[in-house]
Amino acid sequence: MDQAVKDEIAVKPTLGELTAVFGRIGVLSFGGPAGQIGLMHRTLVDERRWLSEARFLHALNYCMLLPGPEAQQLATYIGWLMFGVRGGMIAGLLFVLPGLAVIIALSTAYALYQDTSWLTGLFFGLKAAVLAIVVEAVIRLSRKTLKNRLLFGIAAAAFVALFFFGLPFPLVVLLAGLVGFFAARRGGGAAKSSDAIDLPKRPKPLTAIATLVFWIAVWQLPLLLLWMFSAPEGLAVMFTFFSKMAMVTFGGAYAVLAYVAQVAVDNYGWLKPGEMLDGLALAETTPGPLVLVLSFVGFLVGFREAAGLGPVAGGVIGALLVAWATFVPSFIWIFAGAPYIERLRGNPVLSAALSAITAAVVGVILNLAIWFGLHVLFREVEQISLWPAAGLRLFWPAWTTLDPLAFLLFVVSAFLLFRMKIGMVPVLAVSAVVGLAVRLAVAG
């Protein structure tokens, strides 16, 4: 086999190794999509060398175009590359389950005691360390992908469109792909992949259709179970609502939270005003996709409306129903679409388009990194509208609210990662322990 093909998956893991590594990633996946993508890149590409930079970015490009949590979809895609559907199920589930278990536990405490003040010190140090990992990911990706002026310009334009104008992620990366496609057709500068490609077999149309139908049936299976067991009608209404939300959650959790909060409070009366913000605070202190905040909503609905089940049991069922409605579609997109997406890697013009999307993804991650960094380092960040008609806005921190401890932990974590080359897990552990100890001491 050609050496370039071997480098596509440089070190083939065993199924046990895949399970162990994604179990660890699921537990450590703090920091939203930027931190989670950076964590997977460092672990799977740089440390383990399970797949090449090109293959990682190709998968990421596709996931950025999909509705739902892109980091979980990326984990599923990578697992699928390694071991097919079995690997995709393991990687995708392990990415979500640790955070889901934590958010259910925290939601239970919240519903019973209505108090989250004890969480203020929890995971504080982790966020500062994750910020350093995100910065490292942006630097690594930019060095390896921005190979000419066109790609650099696409990355810059993507960042401006996202950070200053708030355009949707999928729209930005789709426009970048069109720029790369037409530049390649005209002989422009979008980089073409030089990797030798080991293409999968072309899926048979009937097989693809059967896969799609099967996973859609799995996705909607809870509705049948709710009907069979005569469950409270509110659970079925909630499951249907969040199934619809799963189809339109482009750009991650923040793109849909405002709408969900409005509908949950005003239309259905599921939540009281302000409870969505409490749920967001809980979700931001847990590993896994931020969209897990929707399971907090599901817990409160089940806790309050699942008569006959008991409040806590009803809450757990509600949280699980929302998680099922939200995350199962990710498996549909990957298992039905990934075989076709992989074959696109052999087309030079489409490869050039995907290279342009890769450049845009660098801008996307830079936008997420800066947004995340502002909210980690400062207690107050204001959104200033500069040109309302054009949607031009700016996130500006209140400089007097800079958190010295968060800044110090970030600098120390960056030094340990960049200069001392210390492993990611020890850095996360040290930062978490120091941050928690200091916060508890101050509170005491």
* pLDDT above 70: percentage of residues in the chain: 84
What pLDDT sits at residue 253? 56
What pLDDT sits at residue 114? 64
Report residue 287 as tokens.
């590993």
Instruction: Name the residue with higher pLDDT: 321 or 30.
Output: 321
Nearest to 63 by CA among 47, 49, 80, 46: 80
Range from 2-6, 48-52, 198-202 that averages highest in pLDDT:
48-52
Instruction: Name the residue with higher pLDDT: 144 or 139.
Output: 139
| Whole-angstrom distance, CA of residue 22 vs CA of residue 126 | 19
Mapped onto helix, strand or coil, the DSSP state of residue 51 is coil
What pLDDT sits at residue 357? 81
In the predicted structure, residue 327 carries a pLDDT above the cut 80: yes
What pLDDT sits at residue 307? 64
In the predicted structure, residue 125 carries a pLDDT above the cut 70: yes
What pLDDT sits at residue 25? 92
* pLDDT above 90: percentage of residues in the chain: 27
What lies within 8 Å, CB to CB, of 19 at 6+ separation is 90, 94
| Whole-angstrom distance, CA of residue 222 vs CA of residue 224 | 5
Read off the amino acid at residue 188.
G
In the predicted structure, residue 175 carries a pLDDT above the cut 70: yes
Question: Quick one: average pLDDT of 346-352?
Answer: 73
What pLDDT sits at residue 215? 92
What pLDDT sits at residue 316? 95
What pLDDT sits at residue 346? 62
What lies within 8 Å, CB to CB, of 171 at 6+ separation is none
Nearest to 159 by CA among 337, 300, 301, 364: 364
What pLDDT sits at residue 31? 65
- Tens digits of residue pLDDT in 248-306: 665 555 556 656 766 777 778 888 766 776 776 677 667 888 788 889 999 998 998 87
Q: Give the confidence band of 243 by pLDDT, cuts at 50, 70, 90.
A: very high
| Whole-angstrom distance, CA of residue 130 vs CA of residue 372 | 10
What pLDDT sits at residue 260? 75
- Tens digits of residue pLDDT in 89-99: 999 999 999 99
| Whole-angstrom distance, CA of residue 126 vs CA of residue 311 | 32
Instruction: Name the residue with higher pLDDT: 385 or 320.
Output: 320
Classify residue 19 as exposed, middle or buried by CB count within 10 Å of its CB (0-12, 13-18, 19+).
middle
Q: Give the confidence band of 110 by pLDDT, cuts at 50, 70, 90.
A: confident
The H or E element containing residue 5 is helix 3-8
Nearest to 370 by CA among 136, 131, 61: 131
The H or E element containing residue 397 is strand 392-397
Judge whether 264 and 278 are in contact, CB under 8 Å: no
| Whole-angstrom distance, CA of residue 175 vs CA of residue 185 | 15
Instruction: Tell me which of 13-17, 195-199, 399-403 is least confident.
Output: 195-199
**Greatest CA separation for the chain:** 67
In the predicted structure, residue 103 carries a pLDDT above the cut 80: yes
In the predicted structure, residue 324 carries a pLDDT above the cut 90: yes
Mapped onto helix, strand or coil, the DSSP state of residue 383 is strand
What pLDDT sits at residue 390? 79
Question: Quick one: average pLDDT of 323-336?
Answer: 93
What pLDDT sits at residue 1? 36
In the predicted structure, residue 113 carries a pLDDT above the cut 80: no
Instruction: Tell me which of 222-236, 319-333, 342-356, 368-382 is least confident.
Output: 342-356
Judge whether 63 and 73 are in contact, CB under 8 Å: yes
What pLDDT sits at residue 96? 93
Q: Give the confidence band of 101 by pLDDT, cuts at 50, 70, 90.
A: very high
Q: To the nearest 10°, report the CA torsion of 150, 155, 158, 160.
A: -100
Instruction: Tell me which of 266-280, 330-344, 347-361 is least confident.
Output: 266-280
pTM: 0.72
What pLDDT sits at residue 216? 93
Question: Quick one: average pLDDT of 368-395?
Answer: 85
| Whole-angstrom distance, CA of residue 39 vs CA of residue 33 | 10
Question: Quick one: average pLDDT of 305-311?
Answer: 76
Report residue 219 as tokens.
């996705």
Instruction: Tell me which of 90-94, 212-216, 232-236, 438-442 is least confident.
Output: 438-442
Instruction: Name the residue with higher pLDDT: 174 or 25.
Output: 25
